[in-house]
Amino acid sequence: MSDFQPDEPDPPVPSAERVWVLDDPRAGTAAQAIGIAERLGVPFRRIPLTWNWMAHVAGLSRRGSLLGLVVPARAGAGRRLPMAPLVMAEERGPALVISAGSRSAAVALWLKERYGSRIVHCMRPGIGGMLRHPQFDLLVIPQHDDPPMAPNVLPVLGAPHRLSPLILRQAEAAWRERLAHLPHPLVVLLVGGPVRGTDLAPALAHRLGLAVARLAGGRGGAVLATTSRRTGAEATDALAAGLARTMHVLYRWGEPGENPYLGFLASADLVVATADSVSMISEACATAAPVFVALPELAGPRHRRLIATLHRAGQVRLLGDDLSAWPRPRLDEADRVAAEIRRRFTLD
pLDDT per residue as tens digits for the range 219-263: 999 999 999 999 999 999 999 999 999 999 999 998 998 999 999
Q: What percent of the chain has pLDDT over 70?
A: 82
How many separate domains does the chain show? 2
Please tell me what DSSP assigns to residue 285.
Answer: T
State whether residue 325 is helix, strand or coil: coil
Cα separation, 268 vs 172, in Å, equals 9
In a domain, 327, yes or no: no
Cα separation, 284 vs 26, in Å, equals 19
My answer on whether 156 and 173 are in the same domain is: no
My answer on whether 36 and 154 are in the same domain is: yes
My answer on whether 75 and 146 are in the same domain is: yes
My answer on whether 312 and 171 are in the same domain is: yes
pLDDT per residue as tens digits for the range 259-306: 999 999 999 999 999 999 999 999 999 999 999 999 999 999 999 999
In a domain, 130, yes or no: yes
Neighbours of 146 (CB within 10 A): 10
In a domain, 2, yes or no: no
My answer on whether 253 and 299 are in the same domain is: yes
My answer on whether 83 and 185 are in the same domain is: no
Closest CA to 42 of 17, 9, 24, 79: 17
Query: Tell me, what's the pLDDT at 102?
Result: 84
My answer on whether 215 and 306 are in the same domain is: yes
Q: What percent of the chain has pLDDT over 90?
A: 66
| CATH number for position 42 | 3.40.50
My answer on whether 307 and 223 are in the same domain is: yes
Give me the mean pLDDT over the 171-193 stretch.
Answer: 97
State whether residue 272 is helix, strand or coil: strand
CB 254 within 8 A of CB 229: yes
In a domain, 85, yes or no: yes
My answer on whether 171 and 298 are in the same domain is: yes
Cα separation, 130 vs 89, in Å, equals 30
Cα separation, 82 vs 3, in Å, equals 37
CA triple 102-105-108, angle to 5 deg:
160
pLDDT per residue as tens digits for the range 133-167: 788 999 999 999 999 999 999 999 999 999 999 99
CB 60 within 8 A of CB 310: no
Query: Tell me, what's the pLDDT at 1?
Result: 34
Please spell the DSSP secondary structure of 198-262, one letter per residue: S---HHHHHHHHHHHHHHHHHTT-EEEEE--TTT-HHHHHHHHHHHTTS-EEEEPTT-SS---HH
Cα separation, 224 vs 263, in Å, equals 10
In a domain, 94, yes or no: yes
My answer on whether 169 and 124 are in the same domain is: no
Q: How confident is the model at residue 8 (pLDDT cuts 50, 70, 90)?
A: very low
In a domain, 11, yes or no: no
In a domain, 155, yes or no: yes
Please tell me what DSSP assigns to residue 80.
Answer: B
Q: Which domain holds residue 25?
A: 16-161+333-344
In a domain, 6, yes or no: no
My answer on whether 102 and 147 are in the same domain is: yes
| pTM, two decimal places | 0.86
My answer on whether 208 and 128 are in the same domain is: no
